[in-house]
Amino acid sequence: MTTNAQSDAVSNPSGGARPSSVGAVHVTTEKLTSSYCNVTTVNSTREEVVLSFGINQDWDRASPELQVALLKRIVLSPHGAKRFQQRLAQIIAEYEKRYGELQV
């Protein structure tokens, strides 16, 4: 399946962003997979931001140790991470406007 999407900034191989005048963006979903996660870790260096996603496999709250299986790792440039952070903040703000503030 191929879909078209419009984007404010599209990453390019050189790490920068192309302006929104780029036109249509073609997105393919043939290899797309979905995973549930309830644990995330974030680490960074000067050159990259690493997001790791996993599942807490120990549902016994009385246990002194947690068993976490990390399943996916996404590595972004700092510029890509900043654009991701901005979009994620926008999505959460829209969610809270509709359903109320999230308490963490």
Pair (90, 62) in one structural domain: yes
Pair (41, 17) in one structural domain: no
Whole-angstrom distance, CA of residue 88 vs CA of residue 84: 6
Four-residue CA torsion sign, 31, 39, 54, 56: negative
* Domain count across the chain: 2
Nearest to 48 by CA among 74, 76, 82: 76
Using a cut of 0.75, tell me whether the model's pTM lies above it.
no
The pair of structure tokens assigned to 13 is: 């191989």
Q: Which domain holds residue 24?
A: 1-32
pLDDT in tens, 20-64: 577 899 999 999 999 999 999 999 999 999 999 999 988 777 778
Asked whether the beta carbons of 69 and 52 are under 8 A apart, the reply is no
Pair (3, 51) in one structural domain: no
Pair (19, 59) in one structural domain: no
